[in-house]
Amino acid sequence: MYTEQLKDLERISQAAGRSPDLVQGGGGNTSVKLDDSLMAVKASGYKLSDITTTDGYVVVNYKNIRDYHERVDLSKDTDYEKESGEFVRSNVVPMEGLKPLRPSVEAGFHSVLLKNVIHTHPVYSNIICCCENGRELVDEIFRDKEYGYIWIPYINPGFMLTLAIMKEVSNHISEKVSFPKVIFMENHGLVVTADTASECIGLHEEVLQTIRDYFNITGPYPEVAVEPLQDGTFRSKTPYLKEYFKERELSVSFFENTVLYPDQMVYLGGNISVNGSDNKLNINTETGEIIYRTNEKEALTMEETLMGFIYVVENIRKNNLKIKTMSSSETDFIKNWESEKYRKSLLK
């Protein structure tokens, strides 16, 4: 059943998850609508590259989830984050042979888009999405493209983000009489949606190539890797990071005060030491060496996240743009968000 659609899910997931310039760790998600009520969507905590036709995703009734968000009455005194999260989970449809997993926290907005959805956290679009005047830059770069796009100012992920996307999609449809296929989310990432998997993969690549061309990024993204040391710790094997941190004036407050997007907090928050040795991620600013004290999976996720963060920060600086960070109320929301605690716990 649904063989073609599940092959499409595997194909878009492998394309979106193929390298750490597109997604870092378990970030990003994909979905394919199987018929007019069911949708296969990435499971929370899984990596995009782990998705196959038989693993790494959950089937939900997206029609119910879309209806819930379309009809929700916002005048009630309700914890909508909690209610909508429970609603999504109660609409998981068990499938024979599929593990019982939890759907991605972003399943809500997948429900209101076209048949195929790719959502990534690419370092290229995040140069734009994490700077002041990001919206103006997007207009400058994408105004004349034949595909429609929308810009979503930062909003808490989950319920509120789904409502914001629905509203902007509907505004775009009334103005331009077409469904916007590209969504830029401030301090977060990129969404591309299309009726076919091939169009979705092609458009995702075309958007990122357009941005690379604009910023004149021609070289390959640095190779990101960690290597095991004898005592069960890991060391960064990413020359870009070593060169960046070597002899740099730096303190932990740099990371704490420069929060670009939620995944940076989920994967790095509170885990970095500068010139110490007891944290999960320890940077030596004399040598540029980075030592991880955790398991390999978490070390690599942290390395990918750190690399993405430094790459975005450096490219914003090189292009004379100004960083836009998340506010403290926005970061507090993420710290207290149950869904993110769950995702983080899957690294253990």
The residues of the shown chain that bind Zn ion, judged by CB under 5 A, are 189
Contact 21, 322 (CB under 8 A): no
- Which one-letter amino acid corresponds to residue 55? D
Q: Closest distance between Zn ion and the C-beta of residue 261, in Å?
A: 8
Q: Helices 62-71 and 80-90 meet at what angle, rounded to 10?
A: 160
Of residues 32 and 165, the one with the C-beta less far from Zn ion: 165
Chain centroid, CA 285 distance in Å? 29
Indicate the residue among 24 and 238 with the shorter CB distance to Zn ion.
24
- Could you tell me the smallest distance in angstroms from the CB atom of residue 29 to Zn ion? 7
**Number of other CB atoms surrounding residue 216 within 10 Å:** 8
Q: How far is the CB of 120 from Zn ion (least distance, A)?
A: 8
- CB 20 → Zn ion: shortest distance, Å? 15
38: left (phi over 0), alpha (psi -120 to 50) or beta: beta
In whole angstroms, the minimum distance from the beta carbon of 308 to Zn ion comes to: 13
Judged by CB, which is closer to Zn ion: 20, or 189? 189
Q: Tokens standing for 334?
A: 């993420």
Pairing relation of β-strands 281-283 and 182-185? unpaired
Residue 95: partners with Cβ closer than 8 Å, 6 or more residues away: 59
Q: For residues 180 and 189, which CB has a smaller minimum distance to Zn ion in the complex?
A: 189
Contact at 8 Å (CB) between 26 and 47?
yes
CB nearer to Zn ion: pick between 120 and 236: 120
